[in-house]
Amino acid sequence: DKVLMELIEPYELRVAKVREFLEDVKPSLRYDIVRLLDPYGPTITDPDLQCLVVSQETRRGGEAVNKQRLENGLPALALHEILLMQDPDHGENEEEKISSSSLRHRLLGTLLRPPRQDPALPSRPYVIGLTGGTGSGKTSIARLLGGLGAFLIDADKLGHAVYVPGGPAYKQVVATFGAEILSEDGTINRKVLGTKVFGNQEQLKSLTDIVWPEIARMVKEQIREAEAQGKAVCVLDAAVLLE
């Protein structure tokens, strides 16, 4: 449940950095670095431990360790509290302490590894999938990328287009859900259709099985249009991109 956990460095790399730091501090000491598979690790089972270093924000965790040790018949550990280093350059929305969460926020937008070349995909345009829930900022990011020259594809707009009379999904949706979903002018009333599928997984799947393949086909047409225009980058803004 860490912020941006996808950007946490691999365990082996983190261990190497910790070991290098500790050996710089005092190379004459022996350091055992243990992978923690639960919140306590060896602290509640190792009878040789005598002290636990905590910070102000982790002191409660240290007290929880001692409670477990006492329940296990082990002596409580001395809790040595240290102050955390403050980050003089932290941003407005970042933590005041030096923090891995702030570091991961700063990594957003950084190319972590080169794009993987897939021989089944054309090299141009390079298609970026932009997804997230309502209010997550997709439209703002898409607008920024569009300002940099990217070709924008709005899946929501295509989703509306498939429902219009003459649209690729119109006849099948009406045939599946009945004429009662139509307004007087013959257009599909999205609210009435919504009441039929809301809370009904079977009906919802019937609808998405009709609509999503058509949207995907229209997206591919748009990508071909981007290629025809010589665009290097194409951004697909879609709330259900993976689905």
Q: What percent of the chain has pLDDT over 70?
A: 100
Q: What's the rounded mean pLDDT across residues 56-81?
A: 96
pLDDT given for residue 75 in this prediction: 96
Cα–Cα dist 164/159, whole Å: 10
pLDDT given for residue 91 in this prediction: 84
126-237 topology per CATH: Rossmann fold (3.40.50)
CATH 1.10.10.410 fits 5-107, yes or no: no
Give the pairing of strands 151-154 and 126-130: unpaired
pLDDT given for residue 240 in this prediction: 86
Q: How far is CA 105 from CA 2, 138, 196, 199, 241, in A?
A: 12, 17, 41, 36, 23
123 pLDDT above the threshold of 80: no
Beta bridge partners of 127: 234
Span 6-43, pLDDT tens digits: 888 889 999 999 999 999 999 999 998 988 888 899 99
Task: Return the minimum-mean-pLDDT range out of 113-117, 134-138, 198-202.
Answer: 113-117
Span 182-232, pLDDT tens digits: 998 989 998 899 898 888 889 999 999 999 999 999 999 999 999 999 999
pLDDT given for residue 52 in this prediction: 96
5-107 matches 126-237 in fold: yes
- Confidence tier at 1 by pLDDT (50, 70, 90): confident
82 pLDDT above the threshold of 80: yes
Structural element, H or E, at residue 79: strand 78-82
| Entry pTM | 0.56
126 pLDDT above the threshold of 80: yes
Q: Which sequence spans correspond to the domains of the chain?
A: 5-107, 126-237
